[in-house]
Amino acid sequence: MTATIDMSRARIRIKMCGITRMADAAAAVAAGVDALGFIFFEKSPRYISPEAARLIIEQLPPFVDAVGVFVDKKNDEVDEIIQYCRLGYVQLHGAESPKYCEHLVRFASPCQVIKAFRVGGHTSGDEFAVYAPHVKGFLLDTFRPDQVGGTGTSFDWSIVADLNLQKPFILAGGLDVNNIAAAIQAVRPYGVDVSSGVERQPGIKDHRLIREFVSAVRDFDSPGR
């Protein structure tokens, strides 16, 4: 009989995305964030160059993961940034195929792959199944036809129960201090991903909101929850 890991009682992981400044990375680490996201998609208002990202990542302490966010970038370009920035994870927000993910797992090891999906009324569990053998987990964001992510809006969380996900998933999409408790209660994700919900403006984080967001998530790690 194969042993499995029960993640139902696992501490909720927190990723803060859209890091562009060392000061914001330091504030997130001090607050207890588990992972920082660096967006290598030039059209994003939170874009950061590999050179600037590397300077921040080099200063991160142990057990804080660096996640590179990509949108339909060529495999070899992603490989190069993974090695240059020493990324622990890549998060794919485009139309990357299962074969694309398999390539990254095979050739960019030990970097792990997270596939992002934009969730809406049209979303089916079958979309996830073909990716499951090639990724470490899924990120659930809000569907907007004109955006690949970072919408700042939430989706109908009740959809998640019907997706029958076979991998750990990270909840994203318009999360902030005001709705994070309801979001966790509704879907019990492995992790949560916040960006605009802790910002003063795109790419510039509010350190007070970071602390409050982390504190709200940690309330669910208390005994008896």
CATH of the domain at 84: 3.20.20.70
Question: Which position among 17, 85, 101, 111 bears the catalytic label?
Answer: 17
Query: Is 2 inside any structural domain?
Result: no
Mean pLDDT of 69-91: 96
Query: Is 5 inside any structural domain?
Result: no
Query: Is 181 inside any structural domain?
Result: yes
Indicate if 101 belongs to the active site.
Answer: no
Q: pLDDT grade, residue 154 (50/70/90)?
A: confident
Residue numbers of the domain that contains 105 = 13-221
Question: Which position among 24, 34, 141, 176 bears the catalytic label?
Answer: 141
Contact 220, 197 (CB under 8 A): no
Mind giving me the DSSP string for 67-125?
EEEESS--HHHHHHHHHHHT-SEEEE-S---HHHHHHHHHHSTT-EEEEEEEESTT--T
Query: Is 4 inside any structural domain?
Result: no
- Residue in the block written with tokens 């302490």: 61
For 81-135, write each residue's pLDDT tens digit. Answer: 999 999 999 999 999 999 999 999 888 778 999 999 999 878 888 899 999 999 9
Of residues 186 and 110, which shows the higher confidence score?
A: 186
pLDDT more than 90, % of the chain: 77
Query: Is 121 inside any structural domain?
Result: yes
Q: How many residues does the chain have?
A: 225
Cα distance between residue 184 and residue 63, in whole Å: 23
Query: Is 196 inside any structural domain?
Result: yes
Residue 166 pLDDT? 84
Query: Is 82 inside any structural domain?
Result: yes
Q: Is the pLDDT of residue 32 over 70?
A: yes
Q: How many domains does the chain have?
A: 1
pTM for this predicted structure: 0.92
Q: Is the pLDDT of residue 147 over 60?
A: no
Indicate if 85 belongs to the active site.
Answer: no
Query: Is 8 inside any structural domain?
Result: no
Mean pLDDT of 6-10: 73
Mean pLDDT of 28-56: 98
